[in-house]
């Protein structure tokens, strides 16, 4: 599975609706800047008037590092889809048992 393309500025948005039925839920939204305004790249089902907190995400990776990370994520996603995973609770129990 390929990674989603970034908007024109590479900006990703994360929504934090505080005064709606979705309290406590985090969803990533992609947008780009047009005429000084943020324009979502896809439709949203957020209700009118929902408060959204925006955080600019700056990429700290150089292109080679980003490519390696994306490739590793693709390998992990493929493994998970095949069911080739380890239960996180089992790993934590094993780690805590080693103390």
Q: 3-state class of 93 per DSSP? A: helix
pTM for this model (two decimals): 0.37
CA 30, CA 4: separation in Å to the nearest integer?
Answer: 10
pLDDT tens digits for 23-81?
A: 455 667 788 889 998 888 888 888 888 888 888 777 788 889 989 999 999 999 999 99
Tell me what pLDDT residue 50 has. 86
Q: Residue 25's pLDDT is what?
A: 54
Per-residue pLDDT, 78 = 94
Residue with the larger pLDDT of the pair 95 and 17: 95
Give the pLDDT score at 99: 66
């Amino acid at each position: 599975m390929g990674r989603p393309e970034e908007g024109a500025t590479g900006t990703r948005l994360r929504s934090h609706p505080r005064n709606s039925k979705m309290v406590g839920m985090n969803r990533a939204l992609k947008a780009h800047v047009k005429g000084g305004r943020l324009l979502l790249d896809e439709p949203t089902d957020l209700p009118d008037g929902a408060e959204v907190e925006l955080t600019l995400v700056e990429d700290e990776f150089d292109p080679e590092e980003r490519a390696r990370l994306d490739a590793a994520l693709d390998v992990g996603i493929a493994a998970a889809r095949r069911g080739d995973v380890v239960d996180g609770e089992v790993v934590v129990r094993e780690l805590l048992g080693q103390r």
